[in-house]
Amino acid sequence: MKRILFILALLLVITSTASAQTADRNLYLNNDATYGRLGLTAADTISNFDQIYIVQITGKHNQRALQKINVKLETASGSPEVSVQLQGFTFSGQTPVNIGDAVVWKGTSADTTIIISNTAVNGYRFYWVYMDATAVAQNSLITIFEGKLFLE
Protein backbone atom coordinates (compact mmCIF):
# COMPACT_ATOMS: atom_id res chain seq x y z
CA MET A 1 0.00 0.00 0.00
CA LYS A 2 2.85 2.39 0.85
CA ARG A 3 4.44 1.64 -2.50
CA ILE A 4 1.21 2.51 -4.35
CA LEU A 5 0.88 5.78 -2.43
CA PHE A 6 4.50 6.61 -3.18
CA ILE A 7 3.99 5.97 -6.92
CA LEU A 8 0.82 8.09 -6.95
CA ALA A 9 2.60 10.94 -5.16
CA LEU A 10 5.52 10.70 -7.58
CA LEU A 11 3.17 10.84 -10.57
CA LEU A 12 1.47 13.90 -9.11
CA VAL A 13 4.82 15.69 -8.71
CA ILE A 14 5.90 14.80 -12.27
CA THR A 15 2.56 15.96 -13.71
CA SER A 16 2.59 19.28 -11.85
CA THR A 17 6.16 20.15 -12.89
CA ALA A 18 5.50 19.19 -16.50
CA SER A 19 2.69 21.76 -16.74
CA ALA A 20 5.07 24.76 -16.51
CA GLN A 21 5.32 26.55 -19.84
CA THR A 22 8.45 26.02 -21.85
CA ALA A 23 9.36 26.71 -25.45
CA ASP A 24 8.48 24.16 -28.11
CA ARG A 25 11.34 25.37 -30.33
CA ASN A 26 14.40 27.58 -29.80
CA LEU A 27 16.10 30.02 -32.14
CA TYR A 28 19.53 31.14 -30.92
CA LEU A 29 21.06 34.36 -32.24
CA ASN A 30 24.71 34.19 -31.21
CA ASN A 31 27.00 37.21 -30.76
CA ASP A 32 27.05 38.73 -34.26
CA ALA A 33 23.89 37.09 -35.59
CA THR A 34 20.79 39.26 -35.73
CA TYR A 35 18.72 37.00 -38.02
CA GLY A 36 17.64 33.39 -37.73
CA ARG A 37 15.28 30.94 -39.42
CA LEU A 38 13.98 27.66 -38.02
CA GLY A 39 13.94 24.43 -39.99
CA LEU A 40 10.35 23.23 -39.63
CA THR A 41 8.62 19.88 -40.11
CA ALA A 42 5.09 18.49 -39.94
CA ALA A 43 5.63 18.16 -36.18
CA ASP A 44 5.43 21.97 -35.97
CA THR A 45 1.64 21.98 -36.01
CA ILE A 46 -0.73 23.87 -33.73
CA SER A 47 -3.88 21.85 -33.16
CA ASN A 48 -7.05 21.88 -31.13
CA PHE A 49 -8.52 24.59 -28.95
CA ASP A 50 -6.15 26.28 -26.50
CA GLN A 51 -3.01 24.48 -27.59
CA ILE A 52 -0.05 26.77 -26.97
CA TYR A 53 3.02 26.68 -29.23
CA ILE A 54 6.00 28.80 -28.18
CA VAL A 55 9.16 29.67 -30.09
CA GLN A 56 11.85 31.22 -27.91
CA ILE A 57 14.37 33.54 -29.52
CA THR A 58 17.54 34.02 -27.49
CA GLY A 59 19.64 37.03 -28.42
CA LYS A 60 23.14 37.13 -26.96
CA HIS A 61 23.51 40.86 -27.50
CA ASN A 62 24.08 43.58 -24.95
CA GLN A 63 22.20 46.17 -26.97
CA ARG A 64 18.61 47.26 -27.10
CA ALA A 65 16.81 46.22 -30.27
CA LEU A 66 13.73 46.40 -32.46
CA GLN A 67 12.22 43.03 -33.33
CA LYS A 68 10.66 41.69 -36.52
CA ILE A 69 9.03 38.27 -36.67
CA ASN A 70 7.82 36.48 -39.80
CA VAL A 71 5.49 33.49 -39.27
CA LYS A 72 3.78 31.68 -42.12
CA LEU A 73 0.84 29.47 -41.20
CA GLU A 74 -0.99 27.01 -43.42
CA THR A 75 -4.38 25.39 -42.85
CA ALA A 76 -3.87 21.65 -42.43
CA SER A 77 -7.48 20.90 -41.45
CA GLY A 78 -10.59 22.48 -39.98
CA SER A 79 -11.09 26.24 -39.70
CA PRO A 80 -8.03 27.42 -37.80
CA GLU A 81 -7.75 30.54 -35.73
CA VAL A 82 -4.40 31.31 -34.09
CA SER A 83 -3.45 34.27 -31.92
CA VAL A 84 0.24 35.25 -32.29
CA GLN A 85 1.82 37.43 -29.58
CA LEU A 86 5.41 38.65 -29.27
CA GLN A 87 6.66 38.69 -25.67
CA GLY A 88 9.98 39.54 -24.03
CA PHE A 89 11.91 39.05 -20.81
CA THR A 90 15.44 39.78 -19.65
CA PHE A 91 16.31 36.97 -17.25
CA SER A 92 15.57 33.26 -17.43
CA GLY A 93 12.55 32.35 -15.33
CA GLN A 94 10.89 35.77 -15.56
CA THR A 95 7.29 36.10 -16.67
CA PRO A 96 7.20 37.30 -20.29
CA VAL A 97 5.77 40.77 -21.01
CA ASN A 98 3.63 41.39 -24.09
CA ILE A 99 5.30 43.50 -26.77
CA GLY A 100 2.65 45.21 -28.87
CA ASP A 101 -0.70 43.65 -29.71
CA ALA A 102 -1.49 40.07 -30.69
CA VAL A 103 -2.24 39.28 -34.32
CA VAL A 104 -5.15 36.88 -34.89
CA TRP A 105 -5.02 34.66 -37.97
CA LYS A 106 -8.06 32.84 -39.31
CA GLY A 107 -7.37 30.08 -41.82
CA THR A 108 -9.26 31.52 -44.77
CA SER A 109 -6.47 30.94 -47.28
CA ALA A 110 -3.89 28.22 -47.85
CA ASP A 111 -0.95 30.27 -46.64
CA THR A 112 -0.95 33.39 -44.52
CA THR A 113 2.13 35.34 -43.53
CA ILE A 114 2.06 37.17 -40.22
CA ILE A 115 4.69 39.85 -39.78
CA ILE A 116 5.05 41.37 -36.33
CA SER A 117 7.22 44.46 -36.59
CA ASN A 118 7.87 46.12 -33.25
CA THR A 119 8.54 49.87 -33.42
CA ALA A 120 9.63 50.30 -29.79
CA VAL A 121 13.22 49.52 -28.79
CA ASN A 122 13.47 46.91 -25.99
CA GLY A 123 16.35 45.60 -23.91
CA TYR A 124 15.15 42.00 -23.63
CA ARG A 125 17.45 39.04 -24.07
CA PHE A 126 14.71 36.45 -24.53
CA TYR A 127 11.68 36.72 -26.80
CA TRP A 128 8.73 34.39 -27.02
CA VAL A 129 6.47 34.15 -30.00
CA TYR A 130 3.39 32.78 -28.26
CA MET A 131 0.90 31.08 -30.59
CA ASP A 132 -2.47 30.08 -29.15
CA ALA A 133 -5.04 28.03 -31.06
CA THR A 134 -8.40 29.67 -30.45
CA ALA A 135 -10.69 27.52 -32.67
CA VAL A 136 -11.98 24.11 -31.62
CA ALA A 137 -11.28 21.61 -34.43
CA GLN A 138 -8.17 22.81 -36.25
CA ASN A 139 -4.66 22.02 -37.39
CA SER A 140 -2.34 24.85 -38.44
CA LEU A 141 1.07 24.03 -39.85
CA ILE A 142 3.90 26.52 -39.23
CA THR A 143 5.78 26.59 -42.54
CA ILE A 144 8.13 29.56 -41.99
CA PHE A 145 9.51 31.09 -38.81
CA GLU A 146 12.09 33.89 -38.98
CA GLY A 147 13.30 36.34 -36.37
CA LYS A 148 15.33 39.52 -36.85
CA LEU A 149 16.75 41.95 -34.30
CA PHE A 150 17.65 45.48 -35.35
CA LEU A 151 20.30 46.54 -32.84
CA GLU A 152 20.29 50.09 -31.56
Within 13 Å of residue 127, how many CA atoms lie on the same side as its CB?
30
Domain residue ranges of the chain, discontinuous segments joined by +: 22-151
pLDDT in tens, 113-147: 899 998 889 999 999 999 999 888 888 899 999 99
In angstroms, the Cα distances linking 26 to 49, 125, 126, 129, 147 are 23, 13, 10, 10, 11
In this predicted model, what pLDDT tens digit does every residue of 18-40 receive, in sequence order? 335 788 999 999 878 899 999 99
Q: Is 116 in contact with 84 (CB distance < 8 Å)? A: yes
Amino acid at 32: D
Contact by Cβ (8 Å): 121, 72: no
Q: pTM for the full model?
A: 0.80
Which residue from 63, 144, 73 is spatially nearest to 103, judged by alpha carbons? 73
Select 22-151's CATH number: 3.30.450.20, 3.40.50.1470, 1.10.287.1080, 2.60.120.680.
Answer: 2.60.120.680
| Burial group, residue 18, by CB count within 10 angstroms (0-12, 13-18, 19+) | exposed
CA–CA dist 114, 144 (Å, integer) = 10
Q: State the average pLDDT for the chain.
A: 84
